[in-house]
Amino acid sequence: MRTNDPETAISLFVPEDIRGAKTVRIQFDGKALAVPEGVSVASALLMSGVRAFRSTPVSGATRAPYCMMGVCFECLVEIDGRPGRQSCLVPVRDGMVVRRQEGATELDTSSEKD
Ligand code: FES
């Protein structure tokens, strides 16, 4: 579905009960963003207008989230210094530092403990 309506676009990524929630502050490539508490990093970045989450190792083409459920790996970013994180599966946390992922890196296969 394509839309140019920002309210409709946001509704694709934010459950109704999140609207009006508290905000947390994160950084993306050095830029401070205020985003709703409880959403995924991918949702927060998309709502903030970010459209390039990573670049491919071969051509350098930019990529952005596609499935939003942990299947496609198009949403990989670096979170708090750890590359290869699936941003659609990680909830935002106040003070989180997110960076665009350029080219190939190691996937983070450690268990989620934070
Ligand atoms: S958007 Fe597909 S794995 Fe994250």
Q: Full-prediction pTM beyond 0.85? A: no
Cα angle: 74, vertex 77, 79; to 5 degrees:
150
DSSP letters spanning 31-76: EEEEEETTSBHHHHHHHTT----EE-TTT--EE--SSSSSSS-TTE
pLDDT at 70 over 60: yes
Rounded to the nearest angstrom, the distance between the alpha carbon of 36 and the centre of ligand 1 is 19
- Domains of the chain and any CATH numbers: 20-100 (3.10.20.440)
pLDDT digits (tens, 9 = 90+) for 7-23: 555 555 555 566 667 99
Rounded to the nearest angstrom, the distance between the alpha carbon of 86 and the centre of ligand 1 is 6
**How many C-beta atoms surround the C-beta of residue 71 within 10 A?**
10
Binding site membership of 74 for ligand 1 (Cβ less than 6 Å): yes
Binding site membership of 71 for ligand 1 (Cβ less than 6 Å): yes
pLDDT at 38 over 50: yes
